[in-house]
Amino acid sequence: MRDNFHDDLDRIGATLIDMTGLVASAMSMATDALLDADIALADSVISADAKIDGAYQDLEERSFELLARQQPVAGDLRTIVTSLRMVADLERMGDLALHIAKIARMRYPNSAVPDELRETIREMGQVAERIVVKTGDVVAGKDLTLASELETDDDVMDALHKKLFSVLLFQDWPYGVETAIDITLLGRYYERFADHAVSVARRIVFLVTGEMPRTAA
């Protein structure tokens, strides 16, 4: 039989997995809102962020309560402390999806993304979603092989990010400075989103192996 403490610990793990789902959905909708200039979808992402923030605060409070009440040791303690850091990454990923939705909203009824960059942004959105779904699986299954796949996915994101800049810097960029700013920020948001997901996966590796994860620069 499980005791209350381990039920609480399981609930923290379940909340983290739920949050990866919320964040994946936010990112998927934000990319669609951006490419289709869909303001209703953008607004959905913006209002759904409160749910992610709520999950974050709730998990934080429960973790502190658990730490104070139960004085967990060794592995349990490490799990709780690491969860507190993973949830901060996930909350930030929600913010980044929110920032993308806000750019979609700001440029409505136009799309912020010019035609020749649509495909690259679409791919960045797909990679971001794939990364966070895998991150959820890593959290759920403590699968180290899957965690190392995320490093490769992150390299794909970095390559797409570079590609974005190379189009921006191609001589005679015809879309003006405003669009260049939007694309620069969008590129940064997708790239940081992936970085945070990789950071969550690295913390799982740390929990399983006891080895400190590499620092994301």
The DSSP code for 201 is H
- Tell me how far, at minimum, the Cβ of 186 lies from its own copies, in Å: 11
- Tell me how far, at minimum, the Cβ of 184 lies from its own copies, in Å: 4
Of the pair 36, 209, the CB lying nearest its own copies is at 209
Kind plus residue range of the DSSP H or E element containing 158: helix 144-169
Angle between helix 4-36 and 115-141 (nearest 10): 170
- Tell me how far, at minimum, the Cβ of 187 lies from its own copies, in Å: 9
- Tell me how far, at minimum, the Cβ of 178 lies from its own copies, in Å: 6
Contact 69, 141 (CB under 8 A): no
Of the pair 8, 91, the CB lying nearest its own copies is at 91
Question: Could you list the residues that contact its own copies (CB under 8 A)?
Answer: 53, 56-57, 60-61, 64, 67-68, 71, 73-74, 77-78, 81, 84-85, 88, 91, 95, 98, 165, 168-169, 173, 177-178, 180-181, 184-185, 188, 212, 215, 217
Cα–Cα distance measured from residue 166 to residue 162, given in angstroms and rounded to the nearest whole number: 6
Of the pair 14, 181, the CB lying nearest its own copies is at 181
Query: How many other C-beta atoms lie within 10 A of the C-beta of residue 112?
Result: 24
Length of the chain: 217
